[in-house]
Chain A
Amino acid sequence: EPEVTQTPSHQVTQMGQEVILRCVPISNHLYFYWYRQILGQKVEFLVSFYNNEISEKSEIFDDQFSVERPDGSNFTLKIRSTKLEDSAMYFCASSENGNSPLHFGNGTRLTVT
């Protein structure tokens, strides 16, 4: 069964550094998402991406965040200057269309020290 893959599985970075989290969505899917989950808290929407542009973003997704689909297969989330409170599990997801269920990757655990 096709799956969403994310790398790295764990990223440790110092406050103020830039990080790039990578995702390869399922190949025939058209909608891509980033979510995050702080330990013990709910899954929070960050951004959705369709047709090579952001279709929606949450209040969390401020100027420090950006997404890119550079080559038709990878979907990346960049955090320009990480803060301690960015420490969380970041999940990438994709779906076939806007109404179908999301398929999640295994997540990247980001630790900002």
Chain B
Amino acid sequence: RKEVEQDPGPFNVPEGATVAFNCTYSNSASQSFFWYRQDCRKEPKLLMSVYSSGNEDGRFTAQLNRASQYISLLIRDSKLSDSATYLCVVNNMNRDDKIIFGKGTRLHILP
């Protein structure tokens, strides 16, 4: 099983709709989780950290399910500017301190 898995998409979603992505991770000892967004040929930018109790930042909601080893990202009232690749990032914090990126999920918001 790959360390961090995401559906590559693309998700083609009309503007204003709600869209959700999941990301699964294989290491049950993983300690911290993040969602990043990456625009074409740009650097990854932190969208939000994912906390155990779930957290919300405006139109974005992130959740963590430790039992099933997945995190999710929900985007409400999607905007054209939300079009990007969304990267799931897991910090294993084992003795190797390894931070693993998923391959990303591509999102296209359609006008």
Contacts and interface: CB of A to CB of B under 8 A. Distances in A.
Contacts of B66: none
Interface in B58-111: 87, 89, 91, 93, 96-104
B93 A99 contact: yes
B97 A104 contact: no
Interface in A98-112: 98-107
Contact of A45 (B45, B93, B100, B104): B100
B46 A102 contact: yes
A48 B97 contact: yes
Interface residues of A, number: 24
Given A99-B91, A99-B93, A101-B49, A42 B101 contact: yes
A89 interface: yes
Given A43-B87, A98-B93, A101-B49, A33 B99 contact: yes
Contacts of B91: 98-99
A48 B43 CA distance: 18
Interface of B: 31-32, 34, 38, 41-46, 49, 87, 89, 91, 93, 96-104
7 contacts: A35-B101, A42-B103, A45-B101, A91-B44, A99-B93, A102-B99, A104-B43
